[in-house]
Amino acid sequence: MVSTAPIAVPGFRFAGLPVGIKASGDPDLALLVADGLVPCAGVFTTNRIVAAPVTLSRDVLLRGGNTVRAVVVNSGNANACTGERGEADARATAAAVAAALGCQDDAVLVCSTGVIGAPLPMEPLEKGVAAAAEALDGDGLAAFARAIMTTDTRPKTRSLEVSIGARTYRVAGAAKGAGMIHPNMATMLGFVVTDAPVDPLDLDALWHRVCHRTFNAITIDGDTSTNDTALVFAGPGDPLKGDDLNALSDAIEAVAGELARDIVRDAEGGTKTVALTVAGAASHADAAAAAEAVALSPLVKTALHGEDPNWGRIIAAVGRSGAAFDPDALSLTIGPVVIYHGRWMGPGAEQRAHQVMKRAEYSIRLELGKGSASRTIHTCDFGPDYVRINADYRS
């Protein structure tokens, strides 16, 4: 079972501390370090505006055959749209970590998150790297998770143990994100580590599959950022194969899935977390299109906030999604309550659905009646605090 409590993963150490990047004085520098070079895979933003640390990290993984030693993360500053200086600052950050660890620069990945367009304050950052290296601890995941936060209200960690063959392996992770969240990566950072040995190419394929079903299956507001990064690190040794690798993949997906849902649970101004499933679609593309149309609709999201089973808004969003469906077969279920099946099911159904929508978490299911493809996206409501947080973000 996936736990919210962080656990130590053999071969990995973590640190998180304040170094003066954030004016608030909150923790703003995090470090994840393996004992040696280990397999690593990454999924990054699809935004055409790409921050310097993303460019650096993608290049490191490509040149290094998906093996690295560490990742350094700063919060409070995205180092995005900062030109040649930003690229130099990302390289200098990696170099500072490499010097502190005694490894090569190209064994270090860099992540940044925060305000776009401002140059990194390099003096406190570089001094902080040395302090973070001194603070590394196998039990430091909680501190790491706190240091990567921006508008998050709480740190997000998940972990589990999995028995594979005669061995028990550990999987643990941390993530940040509360706004600018949408499939195709979002304003989020995610990190998962395991001591299980995996071939780098297998890990890359595994991680892309996992991210499709977890970090790329959440939406808060439809925006994607310049810095989005999700990384997974595995242990050294004879790599798992076949059923053993599949079992590990399931464990990694379980941890990543809960981290992804934790992001939605912590949505800026959000009060509801909704698992929205579109089933019976003619294709996966249709299922995804319909799910995203509903999950992103401001009218639907405000109805979720008001606990209003406004089925008309939901089916209208499906109707404009471009997905093929049979209007006479279209059905809508909120929790266990069928509220529409080719027609409105009456006020009694709305009253029961309203009771479901008072919960903090529930499900909505749409059946399109055209095939067997499906897609589940986790979304949330829009409340007035979303506007307040984002209106005041820089001021």
Residues assigned a catalytic role: 187
Is the CB of residue 207 less than 8 Å from the CB of residue 44? no
Pair 353, 314: CB distance under 8 Å: no
Q: Name the residue with tokens 């180092």.
A: 79
CA nearest 133: which of 309, 9, 14, 247?
A: 14
Question: What is the C-alpha separation between 303 and 370, in angstroms, rounded?
Answer: 27
CA distance 153 to 273: 15
Task: Quote the CA–CA distance of 312 and 320 in Å, as a whole number.
Answer: 12
Which H or E element spans position 123?
helix 122-135
For the CA atoms of 41, 10, 128, 228, the dihedral, rounded to the nearest 10 degrees, stands at 20
Token pair listed for 195: 């001591």
Calpha distance 75→18 (Å, rounded)? 10
- Asked if 194 contacts 169 with a C-beta cutoff of 8 angstroms, the reply is yes
Distance separating alpha carbons of residues 131 and 189, to the nearest angstrom: 22
Tokens 């949330």 correspond to 380
Edge-to-edge strand ranges of the sheet holding 331-334: 337-341, 331-334, 361-367, 273-281, 373-380
Closest CA to 252 of 311, 164, 167, 328: 164
Tell me the CA end-to-end span of the chain in Å, nearest whole number.
42
Strand pairing report for 229-235 and 189-197: parallel
Q: How far is CA 366 from CA 184, 297, 334, 337, in A?
A: 22, 15, 9, 12
CB atoms within 10 A of CB 385: 13
What's the length of the chain? Answer: 395
Distance CA 197, CA 209 (A): 18
